[in-house]
Chain A
Amino acid sequence: MGKTLAEKMLSEKSGQDACAGGIVIARVDVAAFQDGTGPLGVRQLQKMHLEKLRAPKAILFIDHAAPSPRKELSNDHMLLREFSRKSGAILSDIGEGVIHQRLVESYVKPGDVVIGADSHTCTSGALGAFATGMGSTDVAIGMAMGRTWFKVPETFRVEVKGDFTPGVGSKDLILYLIGLLGADGATYKALEFGGPAIEKMSMESRFVLANMAVEAGAKTGLIASDRITKEYLRSRGRTKDWRALAPDKDAEYERVIEIDARKLVPQVAFPHTVDNTRNISKALGIKVDQVFLGTCTNGRIEDLKIAAQIIRGKQRAPGTRLVVVPASRDVFLSAMKSGLLDVFVRAGGIVLGPGCGPCVGVHQGILGDGEVCLSTANRNFRGRMGNPEGLVYLASPATAAYSAIKGEISDPRDVYAKKRRRGRVMKPRRKKK
Chain B
Amino acid sequence: MVLKGKAWKFGDSISTDLICPGRYFHLRSNLPELAKHVLEDADAQFAAQMARGDFVVAGGNFGLGSSREHAPTIIKLAGVSAVLAKSFARIFYRNAINVGLPLVECDTDLIEQGDELTVDLAAGTVQDFTKKIELKSHSLPRAMLNILNDGGLLAHIEKHGDFKLD
Contact = CB atoms under 8 A, between A and B. Distances in A.
Nearest to B88: A187
Contacts of B95: 134-135, 137-138
B123 interface: no
A72 B18 contact: no
Given A40-B73, A135-B69, A366-B23, 16 more contacts: A36-B28, A64-B25, A118-B66, A119-B65, A134-B67, A135-B68, A135-B98, A135-B99, A137-B152, A138-B153, A149-B165, A151-B141, A187-B90, A217-B90, A384-B22, A385-B22
Contacts of B152: 137
A417 interface: no
A214 to B, nearest CB: 8
Given A25-B163, A135-B94, A273-B13, A387 B23 contact: yes
B28 A40 contact: yes
A419 to B, nearest CB: 38
A137 B69 contact: yes
Interface of B: 13, 15, 17-18, 21-23, 25-30, 41, 60-61, 64-70, 73, 87, 89-91, 94-95, 98-99, 141, 143, 152-154, 157-158, 162-163, 165-166
Interface string A24-55: 01000000000011011000100110000000
A23 B144 CA distance: 11
A386 B23 CA distance: 5
Given A76-B28, A184-B87, A382-B41, A23 B153 contact: no
A6 B99 CA distance: 27
Contacts of B153: 137-138, 141
A70 interface: yes
Contacts of B166: 23
Interface of A: 23, 25, 36-37, 39-40, 44, 47-48, 64-65, 70, 72-73, 75-76, 79, 116-119, 121, 133-138, 141, 145, 147-149, 151, 183-184, 187-188, 214, 217, 219, 273, 360-362, 366, 379, 381-388
A137 B22 CA distance: 20
Given A36-B25, A37-B67, A48 B89 contact: no
B61 to A, nearest CB: 4
B90 A73 contact: no
A135 B166 CA distance: 22
22 contacts: A23-B143, A23-B166, A36-B68, A37-B68, A73-B25, A119-B67, A133-B91, A134-B67, A135-B91, A137-B154, A148-B163, A183-B13, A187-B90, A188-B90, A217-B61, A273-B13, A360-B22, A361-B21, A379-B65, A382-B41, A383-B21, A384-B22
B61 A183 contact: yes
A183 B91 CA distance: 13
A214 B68 CA distance: 14
Contacts of B91: 119, 133-135, 214
